[in-house]
Amino acid sequence: MAQRRVTLADVAERAGLSTTAASRVLNGREGTRLSEDARQRVLAAAKELGYRPNPAARSLRLNKTATIALISDTVVTTRFAGAMIRGALNAARERDHVVLITETQGDPDIERDAIDAMLHRQVDGVIYAAMSSRRITVPPQLLTLPTVLLNATSNRRLPAVLPAEEEAAYAVTSAVLDRGHRNVAVLGRNEAYERDAHLSLAAKLRMQGIRKALADHGHRLAASEYTEDWDVPGGFDGMTALLRRPNRPTAVICMNDRLAVGAYNAASEAGLSIPADLSVVSFDDDPIAEALRPGLTTAALPHEAMGQLAAELVLDANPEPGIRWVPMPLRERSSVAPPAG
Give the residues lining the site for a second copy (CB under 8 A): 1-2, 52, 54-57, 59-60, 65, 67, 76-79, 81-83, 85-86, 89, 93, 98-103, 110, 114, 116-118, 120-122, 144, 232, 258, 261, 265, 268, 287-288, 290-291, 293
User: Closest Cα to residue 281, out of 268, 266, 294?
Assistant: 294
Would you tell me how many other CB atoms lie within 10 Å of the CB of residue 154?
A: 17
Which of 30/120 has CB closer to a second copy? 120
As a whole number of angstroms, the distance between CA 171 and CA 177 comes to: 10
Tell me which H or E stretch contains 187. Answer: strand 184-189
- Residue 99's binding partner out of DNA, a second copy, none, with CB under 5 to 8 Å set by partner kind: a second copy
User: Closest Cα to residue 187, out of 138, 152, 236, 220?
Assistant: 236
Residue from the set 7, 74, 90, 208 that interacts with DNA by CB under 7 A: 7
β-pairing, 330-331 vs 297-300, is antiparallel
- Taking the complex as a whole, the smallest distance from the CB of residue 213 to a second copy amounts, in Å, to 28
The DSSP string of 125-176 is EEEEEEEEEEEEPPPGGGGGS-EEEEEEEESSS-EEEEE-HHHHHHHHHHHH
Which of 97/324 has CB closer to DNA? 97
β-pairing, 184-189 vs 223-226, is parallel
Which of 8/336 has CB closer to DNA? 8
Which of 16/287 has CB closer to DNA? 16
Q: Does 134 bind DNA (CB under 7 A)?
A: no
- Taking the complex as a whole, the smallest distance from the CB of residue 256 to a second copy amounts, in Å, to 12
Residues that bind DNA (CB under 7 A): 5, 7-9, 16-21, 23-24, 26-27, 29, 32-35, 37-38, 51, 53-54, 57-58, 60-62
